[in-house]
Amino acid sequence: MDVSTKLKELRKKAGLTQQEVADKVDVSRVAVGQWESGSVTPRPNKIERLAELFGVSVAQLLGYDPASLPSRDTRADAPAYVPMMVLGSVHAGEFDEEAVSGDGDVVNVPSEVKERWPHARAVRARGTCMNKAIPDGHWFLVDPGTEPRNGDIAVVETEDHEAVVRRWYRGGDTLMLVADSTEHHEDIVIHWEDGAVRVIGTVVYEQGFLRE
C-alpha cells in the first residue's frame, strides 16, 4: 500500500474531509487531493505532520506494515526516532566519506526504519543530478546489503573509483545509471565487459520516503 492509498484510508477512518486535513497541516484542499490521487507526493515535513495528525508512525503512513518488522522495544517510552550521524556526502561524481560531516551533522531516523536496515548509514546529497527524488542537501539512508532493483536509487562506484547516485537499470549486458533531475545530466551506460562496478548501497529511506 502506497502513501496515497494509506492517506485516504486514514482520513476516512478519522472522519475528516480533505479540507479539514488541509487546514490541519497548512496546505490547500487541492494539495490533499493530489496526495490522495498519487499525482503528487507529500514532502517529508508534511509526511511527519500527517503521521502526527493520524496517530501513526511515518513508516505506517508510507504503507509499510509494522507487523513484518523485527521485534522491537514496545515500551511507552521507546523512542520514535533514533539519532544518526551523517557519515559522508555524495556529489555528482565523487563520494566523500568522512568520519563525520564537517559540523557533526546528526539526523533523526524513524526507529522502525533503523531496525529494518540496521547497517544502513546516513549520507547527504550534494548536487542536482537526482534532485527530483533527493534534493541537494537532503540526507538519505544507504544500505550496503540491499540489492538494487530496476528503478531503485543506488550509490555506485565505477571502475575509475568515482561514485554516483543514479537510478539503477540493469539489462542483459549493460547497466544504465540514469539521472532524475530538473537539469540535464548525462546518463551513464556501462557494459559489463568494460569493467566491474561496486554497489556502495541502495537508497532505502530519504527524509520521509520509504523504499517499498
**pLDDT tens-place string over residues 136-177:** 888 899 998 899 999 999 988 876 667 788 999 988 888 888
For residue 168, the domain's CATH number is 2.10.109.10
59 and 142 in a common domain: no
Contacts of range 50-56, beta carbons closer than 8 Å, 24 or more positions apart = 50/7, 50/10, 50/21, 50/25, 53/21, 53/24, 53/25, 54/10, 54/11, 54/14, 56/10
Number of domains in the chain: 2
CA 85, CA 101: separation in Å to the nearest integer? 8
199 and 103 in a common domain: yes
62 and 92 in a common domain: no
Indicate whether 75 belongs to any domain.
Answer: no
176 and 109 in a common domain: yes
Least confident of 3-12, 15-24, 45-54: 45-54
Indicate whether 210 belongs to any domain.
Answer: no
Q: What does pLDDT average to over the chain? A: 78
pLDDT surpassing 80 at residue 31: yes
125 and 25 in a common domain: no
Per-residue pLDDT at 210: 56
pLDDT surpassing 60 at residue 198: yes
> Structure pTM?
0.59
Residues 6+ apart with CB under 8 A from 181: 128, 129, 130, 131, 132
116 and 39 in a common domain: no
For 72-122, write each residue's pLDDT tens digit.
Answer: 444 445 557 787 777 777 764 544 444 333 344 778 888 888 888 988 888
Which grid coordinates are listed for 4?
Answer: 496515497
DSSP structure class, residue 16: -
192 and 100 in a common domain: yes
**What is the domain range of residue 60?**
3-66
The residue with greater pLDDT, 118 or 193, is: 118
DSSP structure class, residue 66: G
* Residue 58 identity (one-letter amino acid): V
Closest CA to 46 of 63, 60, 64, 26: 26
56 and 86 in a common domain: no
111 and 53 in a common domain: no
Indicate whether 72 belongs to any domain.
Answer: no
pLDDT surpassing 90 at residue 23: yes
Reported confidence tier of residue 66, pLDDT bands at 50, 70, 90: low
β-pairing, 139-143 vs 153-157, is unpaired
Matching residue, cell 505506517: 60
Residues 6+ apart with CB under 8 A from 73: none
105 and 55 in a common domain: no
CA 129, CA 82: separation in Å to the nearest integer? 29
Count of helices and strands (H, E) across the chain: 6, 11
27 and 101 in a common domain: no
